[in-house]
Amino acid sequence: MVTNDDGIHSYGLQALAKSLSSVGTVVVVAPDRERSAVGHSLTLHAPLRADEITSGRFAVSGTPTDCVHLGVYGLLPKKPDLVVSGINKGANLGDDLTYSGTVAAAMEATLMGVPAFAVSLDSVSFTLDDFLAGAEIAADIARLIRANGLPINTFLNVNIPAGIPKGVQLTRQGKRRYSSKVEKKQDPRGRDYYWIGGGELNFHDVAGTDFHAILNQSVSITPLHLDLTNYRSFDSLSLWDFDSVC
């Protein structure tokens, strides 16, 4: 099953579905419009609609997480063997994973026990040809997952550099250098409004991270898992006087 957060009509989704058809039968369940930066959002207080616009291609009036949930439990006759989310228009690196609807869709599939990966393209043009090249890489990764499986509770975040990659690196999640700002403006009626995210995107260039791989023209493959527990903090936190809490 293929999904994304850029919407059912995006070039990245079309290229991905076409390439994965060489791996197996593809069903597309994607948002009916762009749903970027919605994170792991699930629609609970409104009904969802899923229109089959062509055979095996559903446009859903919800988030990427909704699409995976609805696809697995409502639209498909059986669980898919794999869920692939993308190809996102822009990289998903470092701390930005927490916002990404693309990554959240792969996370949702993993929660349901379905192998999954998210794939994003770091480019400036985002032509169909750009996405087709990235889609071939995604198909190769799908074949590797089919042959080897994934570790339990683990999914992959794949980022592909623009142009011809020089190689593939197994990476860890990098760290963003925050320079985002909120721009305050006024509408014609004198009311204030705000734009979030007007700052320049920068990351710490550290070897072994997803950002470093992309900067050096390599495909970045970062294994992510569902357990968010910070085990290294146990030693220091165990010294706190928690008995004083209650």
**68 within domain boundaries:** yes
Domain count, the chain: 1
- Of the pLDDT bands very low, low, confident and very high (cuts 50, 70, 90), residue 124 is confident
Flag whether 14 is in a domain. Answer: yes
**Are 107 and 40 in contact, with CB atoms under 8 Å apart?**
yes
Residue 90: inside a domain, yes or no? Answer: yes
120: in domain: yes
Distance CA 115, CA 151 (A): 9
Q: What is the CATH number of the domain that holds 46?
A: 3.40.1210.10
Q: pLDDT category, 246, cuts 50, 70, 90?
A: confident
Residues 6 or more apart whose CB falls under 8 angstroms from that of 195 comprise: 182, 183, 185
Expressed as residue numbers, the domain containing 144 is: 2-174+205-228
Tell whether 193 is covered by a domain.
Answer: no
Which residue from 117, 85, 102, 125 is spatially nearest to 37, judged by alpha carbons?
102
Instruction: Tell me, yes or no, whether 245 lies in a domain.
Output: no
Highest mean pLDDT among 155-159, 188-192, 193-197, 199-203: 155-159
- pTM here? 0.91
If you count them, how many residues does the chain have?
246
- Looking from the CA of 121 toward its CB, the CA atoms found within 13 Å total 31
Give residue 81's pLDDT band: very low, low, confident or very high (50, 70, 90). Answer: very high
Any domain includes 37: yes
**Band of the pLDDT at 198, cuts 50, 70, 90?**
low
Mean pLDDT of the chain: 92
The verdict on whether omega for the bond into residue 87 sits within 30 degrees of 0, i.e. cis, is yes
Looking at the domain assignment, is residue 234 inside a domain? Answer: no
